[in-house]
Amino acid sequence: MTTFSELGISQLYIKALKELNIVNPTEIQEAVIPILLESKTDLIGLAQTGTGKTAAFGLPILNSIDTNKSEVQGLIIAPTRELVQQIKKQLFKFTKYSEAKIFLEGVYGGERIDKQIKALTRTTHIVVATPGRLLDLVERGAVDITNVKILILDEADEMLSMGFKEDLSKILKYNTSKRNTWLFSATMPEEIKRIIKTYMSSDAIKIEVNKNALVNENISHHFINTSIKDKVNMIVRLLDKRQEERGVIFCRTKAGTKNLAKQLQDEGFAVGALEGDMQQKERDKVMRAFKNESLQVLISTDVSARGIDVNNLAFVLHHQLPEHLEYYTHRSGRTARAGKTGQSIALIIPGEMQKVIDIQKSLGITFREMTM
């Protein structure tokens, strides 16, 4: 097995990684770290969420920073506030024993912009940002990205499906000649191919992890036959049997998310809801409670769950199957992270079996029926 030292990572970073229980490189880390450390290149990394992408791009970008300069040299763009906070936090932890201080700043919507403008007046080497807030700050002249050497797009497919295409295009038009772009995505829809063709070098290196596995191989897929009327009872029975386990339940609508959360709370379950109409403070409160295990289950819409990275989730439950195929990949990817196993369970009503067959066919997976 390859070690981080063999990949070219310095001992000071390795010491910090060990404290975070990151001991052996994952497949994506093993594939991209040596390339990104040794050559100035554009890179496309195809990998599912939960495969260790943050360290795969985070260690090389930290390594590239010239701390004698006070300008912004690295830019990491991610789809959600949660993911931005998480990346910033992880990179900060990686630098615990570094000799030279690398300064990071995270900027995202839902926070007062004047506070972020003030923070950016200090020395900042790497900015981690959501696309909308970054563009706002650039257009106000609050952050200068003309000297950025490395621009990273994390979960690029998620950003596009959330409607950030225009913002990304505007950001990518800045300083194209000087920088390298590293794009990471779980799927490769046409929109991503267009971005690659327009804004990245034709010599970009493409790394694909688990080429044949569109969905994490550690996830088992199941369906339960039920009716609309009986769905809540089915979920209650399921959660009763899994009192020691934690998971996420996906609903298609905000109203559905709220209703289900209320029904399950009335049944005495420790659940919290995430949906688009929530204030950022409420959202943070729910996420804190879920991360510190005060809540057993999180109920969420597809968009609200973007960027959620919580370890040790045993299952994902689909109250309804998603409208888009890639959403199934993203939903089920919330479980079985960091080498663990997990279950993805869909509640199916009469007439929906064809959907299950279509998902099986497109993603090359097998669903097994689960009875309660």
pLDDT of 327 reads 82
Q: Residues 248, 239: contact at Cβ < 8 Å? A: no
Crossing angle for the helix pair 254-266 and 231-241, nearest 10 degrees?
Answer: 60
For residue range 148-172, list pLDDT tens digits in order.
999 999 999 889 888 899 999 999 9
4-208 and 219-369 share one fold: yes
pLDDT of 209 reads 81
Query: Does residue 290 sit in helix, strand or coil?
Result: helix
Q: What is the pLDDT of residue 101?
A: 95
Residues 6+ apart with CB under 8 A from 155: 49, 78, 79, 83, 184, 185, 186, 306, 307
Q: Which residue has the higher pLDDT, 209 or 360?
A: 360
Q: What angle do CA 271, 161, 140 make, to 5 degrees?
A: 100
C-alpha dihedral over 238, 243, 247, 253, to 10 degrees?
Answer: 50
Other beta carbons within 10 Å of 280: 12
Residue with tokens 């890179």: 43
CATH number of 219-369: 3.40.50.300
The torsion angle over the Cα atoms of residues 150, 156, 158 and 163, rounded to 10 degrees, is 90
Residue 196 has what pLDDT?
A: 94
Q: Domain spanning 4-208: which superfamily?
A: P-loop containing nucleotide triphosphate hydrolases (3.40.50.300)
Q: Residue 338 has what pLDDT?
A: 67
Rounded CA-CA distance 301/330 in Å is 12
Structural domain spans, the chain:
4-208, 219-369
Name the nearest CA neighbour of 61 among 107, 14, 95. Answer: 95
Which residues 6+ apart lie within 8 Å of 175 measured at CB?
A: 145, 146, 147, 148
CA 238 to chain centre: 27
Neighbour-count burial of 338, counting CB atoms closer than 10 A to its CB (0-12 exposed, 13-18 middle, 19+ buried): middle
Cα–Cα separations (whole angstroms), residue 235 to 24, 260, 357 = 38, 10, 23
pLDDT digits (tens, 9 = 90+) for 6-59: 999 999 999 999 999 899 998 899 999 999 998 899 999 998 777 789 999 999
